[in-house]
Structure 1
Amino acid sequence: MTAAFARPSTLSANLICMASMLIWAAGLPAADLLIVHIPPLPLTALRMALAAGVLLPLWLLADGRAVVAGAQWGRGILVGGIGFGVGSYLLIFAQSRTDAVTVAVISATMPVIGIALECLLDGRRLRAGLVAGLALSLAGGLLTYGGKLGAVGFGLGALAAFASVVCFTWGSRATVISFPALSPIGRTAITLTGGALATGIAAITQISLGGPAPDWAALGAREISALLLYGFGALALSQILWIISVGQLGIGLAALHINAAPFYVMLFLYALGGSWEWMQVLGAAIVGFGVIIAQGLMPRRARN
């Protein structure tokens, strides 16, 4: 591929990644609504089951029975169970033990973890532009929280949040590396099915042993709608777009986009009557600038 074709491909991958973050951010308010009535592990299992339930038939229709049957299901269950099953559970557990600010601030470390994995496992070399872009992404992500940073707490919940970021980052890279012959929907379906199986078995075991169970009677139309959004939109659709972008950009560069998520959340809240936060706008702009710098997309001056 020549440089003339690389630029549009990079642009499209970044736009797809932005769309993934936007859709994922829409599910965060839904999680806050659901976690009151559904414990973290059953909520994770329900979310994974909904996503896998819609993606598996779509994969079958798109790629055919032979591709689905011949896929590396053992590897898919392993990657999905650890990367997305355990990772998603730890994230929801962290939310239940801390708050959204703490979880989001710790999630800002994802680009660092992603680039570290690429350096260790793929031999990526650190360039000055990459380091500068990473620093701008982190600064922009933290800036979106402004004075709220004083509310960040550290403890078991914060540790769970960090572990979830490590799991998800590893799982995203492993999904792309382990299934090169599968389409994006196939990669997403096989790993989310693995996550659904792992969390489903764990949730059933927990409830059978007397652990906390969902308060089904408290779930009304509002909660059901939130669960559908949380499973279908914020996971199934968002994950497909995310895996596409990781496949084109790599986990390190794609992860830079996550630090703009607070800005997207603010947009949704503003549409629902919330306030406009210029600090989050500035933070998102800095994140965007960091993405451009890290990928070497700054236009060069024309030479005479």
Structure 2
Amino acid sequence: MSRRYAEGMVSWRVYLFLVLANLFWAGNYVVGHLVAGRISPLQLTSIRWAVAAPLLIALAMLIDRPDWRAALREWPMHLLQACLGLIAFCLFSYEALTHTTALNAALVGATNPALIAVVAALVIRQRMRPAASTGLAISLLGVLLILTDGQLLQVFTTDYNVGGLFMLGAVAVWTAYTVIGRSLQTPPVASAAVQAVMAAVLLAPVSLSIGGPMTLDSAGWWGVAYICVFPSVLSLMLWNISVKKIGAARAGVYLNLMPVFTALLALAMGSPITLVQLIGGALVIAGVWLTSRPARSADLIDTAGRSAVR
């Protein structure tokens, strides 16, 4: 009983980590909208990781206590991860929002959990249970309801422009980042720290040379500070820990919580919330619950065996 209780506590914490990671990422969209136009995507991404890197190093030393030499032996993989999840994803996302509407960008972004699940199943043979597949479909339906204001046929009539293509690039690189991260031997927080340092070093000279002017006021700088700490440090740390514990496919469905949290944050800031958003949010939560339900004992044995091989 004690072992089963301990495993349940670990699972409970992992799912809480995923919820918090997506809450902080939702805040990134809200705050990012407030500073848009006053700082370039390149500058914002560069400042994010320059500030986040030392914080992640401190957290890694406190939580993981890693062997840094062993971590650096995986430097090619960390460099790839930094280029994918920390640089390319941020640049693509911020650039997408300068070319397209929030609806177009969000509709493309909503395909991310499905793409993660498919790639995980094909590349690393991470089997999806029927309940997980059903939960994925339900949560995606909830996201589409929220994003189209209940008019699902908009999915087939929306005109994707250059911004939609940039968002598709963001979806692709985050999928690769999530799936590849499962194979790293470096502890998750240390991985995030190494990758943040690499991203900051790569971006600094480019940002200084072609970044352009910034027109941020004090409120804008507080917004940048939020982006540097919450979505950049805490979300990345919690996401990497969760993917390491439960796999890319099951973690990926939690990305569908972002539009729900975005709606709630908008409500807190004075924007109304509609019945469609409430229904869509309920579907997302139901889908997440189905996907994160514990597997049967046979599935657990199979998963353990696959993890041991990897």
- The TM-score, its normalising length taken from structure 2, stands at 0.84
* Match in the other structure for 2:305: none
Task: Encode CA deviations 1:129-175: one digit per residue, 9 max, x unaligned.
Answer: 22211111110111112338749541221111011111112112323
8 Å CA contact 2:25–2:231 kept in 1: the answer is yes
Residue identity opposite 1:196 in structure 2: A
Query: How far apart in 1 are the matches of 2:3 and 2:176?
Result: 30
CA 1:123–1:298 in 2, change beyond 3 Å: closer, same or farther?
A: closer
Equivalent residue for 1:116, pick from 102, 115, 118: 118
* Match in the other structure for 2:255: 258
8 Å CA contact 1:77–1:193 kept in 2: the answer is no
Equivalent residue for 2:275, pick from 258, 275, 278: 278
Alignment of 1:46-85 (within 5 A): 46-63=47-64, 67-72=67-72, 73-85=75-87
Q: CA RMSD in A?
A: 2.6
CA 1:285–1:297 in 2, change beyond 3 Å: closer, same or farther?
A: farther
Q: Secondary structure at the match of 1:96?
A: coil
Query: How far apart in 2 are the matches of 1:4 and 1:110?
Result: 32
* Match in the other structure for 2:195: 191
Q: Secondary structure at the match of 1:79?
A: helix
CA 1:298–1:186 in 2, change beyond 3 Å: closer, same or farther?
A: closer
Residue identity opposite 2:168 in structure 1: F
8 Å CA contact 1:146–1:279 kept in 2: the answer is no
* Match in the other structure for 1:16: 17
Q: Which runs of 5+ in 2 are unaligned?
A: 297-310
8 Å CA contact 1:134–1:294 kept in 2: the answer is yes
Task: Encode CA deviations 1:250-276: one digit per residue, 9 max, x unaligned.
Answer: 111111111121221122222222213
How far has the Cα of 1:295 moved from its partner? Answer: 3.5
Query: How far apart in 2 are the matches of 1:163 and 1:156?
Result: 11
8 Å CA contact 1:81–1:197 kept in 2: the answer is no
CA 1:224–1:153 in 2, change beyond 3 Å: closer, same or farther?
A: farther
How far has the Cα of 1:248 moved from its partner? Answer: 1.7
Task: Encode CA deviations 1:83-131: one digit per residue, 9 max, x unaligned.
Answer: 3211111111111111222222211111111112211221133432222
* Match in the other structure for 2:44: 43
Query: How far apart in 2 are the matches of 1:99 and 1:85?
Result: 22
Query: How far apart in 2 are the matches of 1:152 and 1:43?
Result: 29
8 Å CA contact 1:115–1:252 kept in 2: the answer is yes
Alignment of 1:157 onto 2:157 = no
Q: Secondary structure at the match of 1:86?
A: helix
CA 1:297–1:29 in 2, change beyond 3 Å: closer, same or farther?
A: same
Query: How far apart in 2 are the matches of 1:2 and 1:162?
Result: 43
How far has the Cα of 1:298 moved from its partner? Answer: 9.7
Query: How far apart in 2 are the matches of 1:58 and 1:9?
Result: 20
Task: Encode CA deviations 1:201-241: one digit per residue, 9 max, x unaligned.
Answer: 44345x1xxxx5032xx211111000001111121111111
CA 1:31–1:11 in 2, change beyond 3 Å: closer, same or farther?
A: same
8 Å CA contact 2:243–2:251 kept in 1: the answer is yes
* Match in the other structure for 1:25: 26
Equivalent residue for 1:98, pick from 90, 97, 100: 100
How far has the Cα of 1:281 moved from its partner? Answer: 2.3
8 Å CA contact 2:64–2:189 kept in 1: the answer is no
